[in-house]
Amino acid sequence: MPLVANTQLPSFSRYRAEGGEVLTPRRAQDQSIRELHIGLFNMMPDAALEPTERQFLRLVGGCNRIAQFYVYPFTARKIPRGDKARRHIDQYYFQTEDIEALGLDALILSGANPVHLRLVDEAFWEPLCSLLDWARINVTSTLCACLATHAALLYFHGIERQPLSSKRWGVYRHETKSGHPLVQGANTRFDVPHSRWNEIYPEQMNSANLNILMESDEAGVHLATSEDGFRFVYFQGHPEYDHNSLLKEYKREVVRYLNGEIKDYPPYPNSYFLEDAKNVLQEFQDKVMKSSDKPSLVDQFPEREIQAHNTWGDTGKVVVNNWLGTIYQITHQDRGKPFMDGIDPANPLAYLTGDK
């Protein structure tokens, strides 16, 4: 939550200039402790549907302890689903039209597993674009994760993602590039997991006047925002990942190899496994290479013997906490009315500085 500049202490102005949230007394008096209502548009395939729910719930739930967060999962009905996932959605998810009628303070768009070369051919494309149009007018801020970022930048700016020569997969060192309020309190150097076959490069984002906030020499842009600084927040990395998400992803690739779906044994995710884990995995790989019946080894993958580590969670929570804290300060009491009187939608962050 922000500080209130209840005196003329110069340090308040200095802290605000550094990107800290400082309200004037008049702005502070307009605030009231209340809840935030957050939509979660989940486009992940069946196997990742519920894990994705939990990952984002952990990110949101690890934030500010004063506000109360209501999370509303929903999805694109056009995405093909199996019976189990369909039952889960029918029982627990909201309808898109009900979400739009209800109104939201914030919206999270999950990643997805593309099955076509072109995003415009995906089952989720039209529902997602319709939702982006609605969110641009009706939601204070929308957070896009990975493929949702690629889709939004294609839809809004005509930016085409670029194929990589190999999968960008693992944990990479990043640096903070800006004093933006979203990165206030984050480490200046930190880790982020990535997992994708395509990239949107800094030059492409600069051409659309996006604000790049976190970047890696190896993995590219992790965090950026729309030109206004807040309406849309774009992640290319995965701050929501659990400590073992990359382990499970690696296991899926190994199983694909064992079943003959891919030709080469998968490499390790970058900078993720420690040496003791690599030793265990190498023993299993050696066993695989000597076996004439590789599919029979699927159940022997040593997942329980691997100690996976999370070196990115704290920074991810800081950014999401800053995101939700900013939304809390500039949203209306009434959902569906995201901007209070006097807030310029083209520059919503100006409200926090007392400039508007």
pLDDT score of 62: 82
Residue of 233, 231, 239 whose CA lies nearest to 174? 239
The bridge status of strand 220-225 relative to strand 189-199 is unpaired
In the residue annotation, 332 being an active-site residue is answered as no
Ordered by where they begin, the domains of the chain are 32-242+310-353 (3.40.50.880), 245-305 (no CATH)
pLDDT score of 147: 97
Express as a percent the part of the chain with pLDDT over 90.
76
pLDDT score of 179: 85
pLDDT score of 338: 57
Express as a percent the part of the chain with pLDDT over 70.
92
Please tell me which residue in 63, 122, 146, 180 is annotated as part of the active site.
146
Residue 355 pLDDT > 60: no
CB atoms within 10 A of CB 280: 15
In the residue annotation, 146 being an active-site residue is answered as yes
Residue 287 pLDDT > 90: yes
Please tell me which residue in 53, 240, 249, 253 is annotated as part of the active site.
240
Lowest mean pLDDT among 10-24, 163-177, 251-265, 304-318: 10-24
Residue 6 pLDDT > 90: no
Residue 351 pLDDT > 70: no
pLDDT score of 304: 95
CA pseudo-torsion sign 248, 253, 257, 261: positive
| Average confidence (pLDDT) over 193-209 | 97
pLDDT score of 31: 62
For residue 334, name the pLDDT band (cuts at 50, 70, 90): low
HEC secondary structure over 250-316 = HHHHHHHHHCCCCCCCCCCCECCCCHHHHHHHHHHHHHHHHCCCHHHHHHHCCHHHCCCCCCCHHHH
pLDDT score of 263: 95
pLDDT in tens, 147-175: 999 999 999 999 999 999 999 999 999 99
Residue 265 pLDDT > 60: yes
- Average per-residue pLDDT in the chain? 90
pLDDT in tens, 106-121: 999 999 999 999 999 9
Lowest mean pLDDT among 133-137, 239-243, 340-344: 340-344
For residue 34, name the pLDDT band (cuts at 50, 70, 90): confident
| Average confidence (pLDDT) over 70-84 | 94
pLDDT score of 25: 81
In the residue annotation, 144 being an active-site residue is answered as no
Whole-structure pTM value: 0.88
Q: What are 191's two structure tokens?
A: 């880790």
pLDDT score of 5: 80
- Please report, for the chain, how many H helices and E strands are present, in that order: 12, 11
DSSP-derived 3-state class of residue 16: helix
Residue of 290, 348, 319, 353 whose CA lies nearest to 190? 319
According to DSSP, the residues that pair with 304 across neighbouring strands are none
pLDDT in tens, 44-69: 999 999 999 999 998 988 887 677 78
Please tell me which residue in 37, 194, 222, 238 is annotated as part of the active site.
238
| Location of structure tokens 């894990």 | 51
